[in-house]
Amino acid sequence: MESNRPAKLSASIYFWVTTSLLLALLWPSIFNTFPLVYWDTGTYLNSSFTGQVPVDRPVFYGLFLAVIRALIETTTGSQSGTLWAASIAQSGIAAFLILVALPTAKVRFVLPAVLLSTAPWYASQLMPDIFSGTLALSIFLMTFRWGRLSAWHRRLIPPILILSIIVHLSHLAIAALTLVCLVSFKYLRSEKPPSIQSRGLLFTSACCVLACLLILVTNRTLAGRFFLSEGGHVFLLGRVMGTGVLKPLLDEKCEVEGYALCPYKDYFANHDHNEFIWNDDSPLPKIGGWEGSRTEAWRIIRGAVYHYPLRSAAATLEASIKQLLHFEIGDGLEEPYSDAKNVYKQIRDRYPKSFDAFMVSRQQKGNLLPTVRAWNWIYFSVFILTLGLIGWATFRHGTLEETPFAYFAVLFVIANAIVCATLSGPNPRYQARAIWVLVLAGTALLNEILKIRKNLRNST
């Protein structure tokens, strides 16, 4: 069976490469002196203790944190280090997939590629965002390289794919859209790309179905009923507002339809969708909040699509294009979290032994922003260079062994932009958490081109 280790590496060197890659993924948290946190981290920390399904997100990342905490407590008898262990665990998953996806890339390419990508910022953050990239790599490895994977890789990667799907609800839609495109490329084109493997497609599709069933069954067990999302209607209602359709709908249809938002229609001329969803003084609590607004929200969403189909479609297309090119790190890292924020309270109350370390971290002192700004310029430059490399390689060299990886990465990034823009609206964080896969694909392509040129020089 073909090994997936980087070429000609001994076991000891492979160990140090893996360790170095893990440290590269963790460098932002090491620099920060504490794992990075986000506004939503508090919700996940809480659900990891209570087992309750949050109204606005899946419970599975919270359960992931709970498993890590249980392992640490069993091993050490203390919760100390649990948050670091969670960051290390998700970084380890990403490192494993990176080394499987780049089996022939030279060591000197792998580490710079990771360091020059956005991956470390999300691997270091106590959020499910790193799993956007592991979702992409898992799908790619299963659909394009299933026949080349070792037996133990075939056992490990499908569970990672399922985990990557269930920790964030948008991942189910992104995976489904990606698979639809891959099936179309394989079976509907007259010139069939041999690199997409039928058995891998079948197993990947099965993983998506299992992930969907797991979400439904887990929610039934913990919350008492089957559902995919408790808060999807709120995000979609916010998206309708973001398209600019909600205000005209209320202006023109309130007399006939009598929507619950009609008394508040002037609000939507002066506020954005994030304020509507998250601010306590928005109309949302007045029409029932997250749980009580479900029926009315869906009625408004259907009305918007029915009465303004072209405008809704055009706004979604525009948002998808904006999302595709709009990415940067730093969301949630700009300023310290006050004692009124849930993430502050959860670390203070749930992890008292880690609280002092959290308070003296660079993020909590408000000292991360200059670093973030500097790296954003680097990431954008690397992104442009990567796109240029893929385009040049296609024009100059045609189809290479790593070309499918590059094309798949482009497809996944587009699918990510479409789904995120459609379900929630453009946000630089949504694309930044996935764009690093494109950098890895460009690295693999660059390595192959350099090997070809070296062989040509040697042959002459």
- For 2-51, write each residue's pLDDT tens digit: 444 444 456 777 788 889 999 999 999 999 999 999 999 999 999 999 99
Do 405 and 101 contact (CB within 8 A), yes or no? yes
The predicted structure's pLDDT at residue 2: 44
Confidence of residue 389 (pLDDT cuts 50, 70, 90): very high
Q: Does residue 428 carry a pLDDT above 70?
A: yes
Mean pLDDT of 176-197: 82
Confidence of residue 334 (pLDDT cuts 50, 70, 90): confident
Mean pLDDT of 358-363: 96
The predicted structure's pLDDT at residue 1: 41
d(Cα 117, Cα 139) in Å, to the nearest integer? 20
Report the chain's terminal Cα–Cα distance, integer Å: 33
| pLDDT tens, position by position, 234-293 | 999 999 998 899 999 999 999 999 999 999 988 988 888 889 999 989 999 999 999 899
The predicted structure's pLDDT at residue 6: 47
Q: Where are the domains of the chain?
A: 11-227+335-366, 232-324
The predicted structure's pLDDT at residue 457: 82
The predicted structure's pLDDT at residue 317: 94
The predicted structure's pLDDT at residue 192: 54
Amino acid at 52: Q
Q: Does residue 194 carry a pLDDT above 70?
A: no
Mean pLDDT of 123-130: 97
Mean pLDDT of 186-190: 74
Mean pLDDT of 206-219: 97
The predicted structure's pLDDT at residue 193: 56
Higher pLDDT, 105 or 194: 105
Least confident of 32-46, 102-116, 321-335: 102-116
Query: How is residue 199 written in tokens?
Result: 């058995």
Mean pLDDT of 402-430: 94
Q: Does residue 233 carry a pLDDT above 80?
A: yes
Q: Does residue 108 carry a pLDDT above 80?
A: no
Q: Which long-range contacts does 448-451 make (Cβ < 8 Å, 24+ apart)? A: 448/104, 448/400, 448/401, 448/402, 449/393, 449/397, 449/400
The predicted structure's pLDDT at residue 362: 95
The predicted structure's pLDDT at residue 373: 87
